[in-house]
Amino acid sequence: MNIKTITTAAVLLLAAVGCKENDIAFYNEAPRLEYVTVATCTFDDQDYLNAYIADEKSPEKECKVTAQLIGRLLTEPLTFCMQGAPSKTTPYEVKARFENPYTFPVSAAQYEATVWVTCPTKEQSSTQQTSTSGIMEITSETSNPAHQFGPGRNENLVCSLNVTLQLYPGSWDTAWWGSYSRSKYVFMMETFKTTIDHIEKTQANQIKLKQAYAAYSTANGPLYGDDDMSNVEIYFPLQ
């Protein structure tokens, strides 16, 4: 074995020992907290009805953000706090409520924290052609005295909470109700106080919609379709 080979082997050995020692030091530090970097919260037509149309309104929905421990498992519960801010790329602002402080349990590597998210409005909902999500960036609220963790790895300090309202129901019947649009479907939910699955396909209901829309458009102006139909007024067929 020549001198060059011996020297190279020695350098690699020292590097490996150094990495091992750093890992040991890292995992013996005080507990650190980071997040699974993406969480989703999807609202549907029933959620929208509950939030904006029902007599007893429930505007918020329970969503989960996963916090994960870096270091040794806890031997006693510790608390942590979260905060949210709009992403620079979000098309609309997400509204969320945090239940600070949260308690991270012992002997667990991850914990699903509950965040209460407000249902987006009909203007913020997706269309059949375009999916739209509001984005909130969730981080640890380290300034809160109840936050008892150090920060985790830089790349995992932010969880992007993606919030979507998808009103379009799979049971929509174009032959019976005409072309779908967000404004039309919301008008139908407001008229009948329920979702499409509970609106009977009867001529009486078609007539009720036509009469209700005629009164609405006279008082408030017309409603329009989505995407490439955004300049076309909605209509309700009659069979």
Judged against a pLDDT cut of 90, whether residue 134 lies above it is answered with yes
Q: What is the mean pLDDT of the segment spanning 47-68?
A: 97
Work out the pLDDT band at 11, boundaries 50, 70, 90.
very low
Going by C-alpha positions, the residue among 119, 139, 102 that lies closest to residue 61 is 119
pLDDT score recorded for residue 28: 60
Q: What is the mean pLDDT of the segment spanning 116-139?
A: 97
pLDDT score recorded for residue 16: 44
- Mean pLDDT over the full length of the chain: 90
Listing DSSP states for 14-44 in one string gives HHHHHHHHHHHHHHTSS-EEEE-SEEEEEE-
Question: CA distances (Å), 9 to each of 6, 18, 22, 25, in order?
Answer: 5, 14, 20, 24
Rounded to two decimals, what is the model's pTM? 0.85
Please report, rounded to a whole number, the percentage of residues in the chain having pLDDT higher than 90.
86
